[in-house]
Amino acid sequence: MQPLSFPAQIDYYLDAVSCRSSLTESLKPIIEPYKNGSILDCSVGTGFGVIELIKSGYNIICSDACENMLNRFTKNSQSMNTTTSPLKIKWQELGCKLPELFDLVLCRGNSIIYSDMWDNTRADDDINEIINSLEGIYRSIKDGGCLYVDIPSDKFFDFEAPMVLNHNEKQVNCLPVRVDEKITHNKETNKRKWEVEMTIAGDKYSFTKYSHLILEQDFKNILIDIGFKKIEKIEGCKFREHYCEFIAHK
**pLDDT tens across 185-197, in order?**
998 888 899 999 9
Q: With 80 as the cut, is the pLDDT of residue 125 above it?
A: no
Q: What is the mean pLDDT of residues 209-226?
A: 95
Span 48-60, pLDDT tens digits = 999 999 999 999 9
- Cα 233 to Cα 176: distance, rounded to the nearest angstrom: 36
Q: What is the mean pLDDT of residues 84-101?
A: 96
Mean pLDDT of all residues in 58-79: 95
Task: Give me the pLDDT at residue 122, please.
Answer: 60
For the chain, percent of residues with pLDDT exceeding 70: 97
Assessment of whether the complete model's pTM goes beyond 0.85: yes
Q: Is the pLDDT of residue 8 over 90?
A: yes
State mean pLDDT over 237-250.
Answer: 88
Residue 46 is classified by DSSP as T
The pLDDT score that the predictor gives to residue 226 is 97
pLDDT at 241: 84
DSSP string, 162-216: -EEEEPPPEEETTEEEEEEEEEEEETTTTEEEEEEEEEETTEEEEEEEEEE---H
What pLDDT is recorded for position 51?
Answer: 96
The answer on pLDDT for 89 being more than 80 is: yes
pLDDT value at 38 more than 90: yes
Q: Is the pLDDT of residue 184 over 70?
A: yes
Its sign, for the CA torsion 167, 168, 169, 170, is negative
Nearest residue to 219 via CA among 189, 243, 188, 186: 243
How far, rounded to the nearest angstrom, does the alpha carbon of residue 196 sit from its chain's CA centroid? 16
At 240 the pLDDT is 83
- The rounded distance, in Å, linking the Cα atoms of 101 and 88 is 16
Lowest mean pLDDT among 81-85, 122-126, 195-199: 122-126
Taking alpha carbons only, the member of 180, 185, 207 closest to residue 17 is 180
Instruction: Report the 10 Å Cβ neighbour count for 56.
Output: 10
CB-hemisphere CA count at 13 Å for 173?
13
Long-range contacts of 166-173 (CB under 8 A, 24+ apart): 167/16, 167/17, 170/15, 170/16, 172/12, 172/15, 172/16, 172/200, 173/12, 173/15
SS3 138: helix
**68 pLDDT higher than 90:** yes
Round the average pLDDT of the chain to a whole number and report it.
93
Residue 123 has pLDDT above 60, yes or no: no
Q: Widest CA span of the chain, in angstroms?
A: 51
Whether residue 30 is predicted with pLDDT greater than 60 in this model: the reply is yes
The answer to whether the beta carbons of residues 114 and 208 sit under 8 Å apart is: no
Mean pLDDT in residue range 101-124: 84
Angle among Cα 89, 116, 94 to the nearest 5 degrees reads 30
Q: pLDDT value at position 124?
A: 58
